[in-house]
Amino acid sequence: MKKVRLRHLVQVNPLTRAFDLLSDDDELTFLPMEAVWSGSRLDTSHRRRKASVAVGYTRFQDGDVLVPKITPTFEAGRAVLIGGLIGGVGAGTTELHVLRPGPRIDARFLLYVVSTHGFLKFGAAEMYGVAGQQRVPDRYLRDLMISLPDLEDQRRIADFLDVETRKIEDLVSRKRHLVALLEERCDSKILSHVGASALVAGAAGEPTLPVRRLLAKVVRPPIADLGVVTAYRDGRVTARSLRRAEGYTLSASTEAQGQSVVPGDVVIHGLDGFAGAIGTSEASGNCSPVYHVCEPHNGGDSDYFGRLLRLLALQGYLGNFATSTRERAVDFRNWDLFGRIPLPVMPVDEQCEVGASIRRIRPLKELVERSAVLAAERRQALITAAVTGQFDVSTASGRNVTEGITA
């Protein structure tokens, strides 16, 4: 098997002439970083007009392989083979490298090459920049030396991996879907109460009260030697050391500062809350003064309030009361302003019932995510072994190559 540098097989970050041929009003597919996931989790539903992305964005076309360049997304192996773009052309975050395959390499095989353990490990070692903002240079991609089978073998390997990785992804997807159904039951009960309240039904609806009558804002001094607690956009509030370093807006250093948080606090990000960064803290630590840290009045349930506020934020309700916005945030750092927002009043016993359901789901969700991590490791090991020729895919058994992955 011959060794070839990648620059002889692909164009790295090439021009996309098809983009230039579009008119300013033409619609195209847009990929923010949060939409870039391997396999079936890739989200190509975002749309933009060409004029709005003509400057300052990465351009690509059907058949390109997109490789995230910034930590920790690069290390997570979230490269994608893009297809199905509107008009065959797209634009996205500048944190993407674009690889355009030439005639000597199969696009699917290329995707699997940039998903191997070795590619990700050595790419991480080549990163440059400050902590938390490190990037893989395109030089690493251009100079990468790969083992290149002939095209027939490349396609055979890609066919095999398409089938086997899909099995792994489907197992994880089914588990996540089960958790999502349980979460939807909780959300449905909360939203049905919102629908019956004066927020929706008007004067004939159930009563409402301003946030400050339902939640008390607390400000505790920071505690040395405790880690940073972060509100993530998926609604989880926990120590940053226990989570990936993405899915939040950077607003806290690793030094003790701002205020401290304890488990059970309702935490609202004053700028990123509109995007879902609201929830109930699972850990002790320190957080930025940008956050509102609250406790329920009168025996209210903190998990209920964390979920209620997040649902209202994602539906755009909270944003209706903002007096200041910026490109990617609604500004609610002013507690006096936020505290005036009316919320539906649910009886405490019903709050506690919803909160108990949320708490029962949490350990199941953590178990599913741990199994997803193991599945991702298994997937990467399988890809690495197949691409590097550690076994012959033409004789491999689908049963034994996925051994250890269970539903």
Q: Classify each residue of 34-45 as buried b or exposed e, where b means 16 or more C-beta atoms within 10 Å of its C-beta.
A: ebbbbeeebebe
Q: Which amino acid is at 169?
A: E
Q: What stretch of H or E contains 146?
A: strand 145-148
- Distance, in Å, from the CA atom of 31 to the CA atom of 17, rounded to the nearest integer, reads 18
Q: Which residues contact 350 (CB under 8 A, 6 or more apart)?
A: 193
One pLDDT digit (tens) per residue for the chain, 407 residues:
799 999 999 999 999 999 999 999 999 999 999 999 998 889 999 999 999 999 999 999 999 999 999 999 999 999 999 999 999 999 999 999 999 999 999 999 999 999 999 999 999 999 999 877 899 999 999 999 999 999 999 999 999 999 999 999 999 999 999 999 999 999 999 999 999 999 999 989 999 999 999 999 999 999 988 899 999 999 999 998 877 545 455 544 444 468 999 999 999 999 889 889 999 999 999 999 999 999 999 999 999 999 999 999 999 999 888 766 555 557 888 999 999 999 999 999 999 999 999 999 999 999 999 999 999 999 999 999 999 999 989 887 554 555 544 44
Domain architecture of the chain: domains with CATH:
2-148 (3.90.220.20), 208-344 (3.90.220.20)
The conformational region for residue 197 under phi > 0 = left, psi -120 to 50 = alpha, else beta, is beta
Residues listed for the chain: 407
What residues form DSSP beta bridges with 99? 12, 65
